[in-house]
Amino acid sequence: GAVVSQHPSWVICKSGTSVKIECRSLDFQATTMFWYRQFPKQSLMLMATSNEGSKATYEQGVEKDKFLINHASLTLSTLTVTSAHPEDSSFYICSARGLAGVSYEQYFGPGTRLTVT
Amino acid sequence: QKEVEQNSGPLSVPEGAIASLNCTYSDRGSQSFFWYRQYSGKSPELIMFIYSNGDKEDGRFTAQLNKASQYVSLLIRDSQPSDSATYLCAVPRGSQGNLIFGKGTKLSVKP
């Protein structure tokens, strides 16, 4: 149980283009999904928190117009990196938390490695 | 003081030994604690969570929580080379339960 998928697993795009990353909870309904970014040899950095049907909450320093998050259903959240630049190249990871009780454990997707050329 | 602190390591132990990973946290009101394992180039994987003071065992893993001293530890018995990874300690924050992660401790188990 508690499986989260991400698609694509890796993507290469040209500077100035936009990239959409999907995050799905496969066997549970996720009230809340989280998007993280991780640069090489650094720790996870939370970018934003999204709840189904409402606007995402972005962490300080994260541009909401650049990183568009849509949490359209209880099993799907998308992150769109708009007008990507080489400095956006990173490992993007989503996680999901289920409906049951007040449990806070998050289950992570396998991540998407983005390279902007 | 950072919210969640871990020794970055690397912590090197021989195969078969006990690996002890420690984490301290600043918010005395924290109620739940999580340990994740992250292999190089992969996403984190939940290993254990603990809510109550004392020990919680799951196979070769034991989580220990001491709320009075504000630390949580993870013991790995009979360490295997496949346990070599970065171990992340995490504590929820806020009403949505955002997890605050430590920077992780890199464990290396030598055959």
Sign of CA pseudo-dihedral B84, B101, B24, B34 = negative
Q: How far apart are CA B105 and CA B10, in angstroms?
A: 7
> Considering only alpha carbons, which residue of chain A is nearest residue B48?
A105
Quick one: pLDDT at residue A102? 56
Task: Enumerate chain A positions whose Cβ falls within 8 A of a Cβ in B.
Answer: 32, 34, 43-44, 46, 49, 51, 57, 91, 93, 97, 104-111
- What are the tens digits of pLDDT across the range B34-74? 999 999 999 999 999 998 889 999 999 999 999 999 999 99
Q: How far apart are CA B70 and CA A66, in angstroms?
A: 38
Per-residue DSSP letters for B31-66? --EEEEEE-TTS--EEEEEE-SSEEEEETTEEEEEE
- What are the tens digits of pLDDT across the range A63-110? 999 999 998 898 999 999 999 999 999 999 999 987 655 567 889 999
pLDDT band of A27, cuts 50, 70, 90: confident
Of B44, B96, B102, the CB nearest to A108: B44
Cross-chain residue pair A49–B96, CB shorter than 8 Å: yes
Sign of CA pseudo-dihedral B20, B24, B25, B28 = positive
Cross-chain residue pair A108–B45, CB shorter than 8 Å: yes
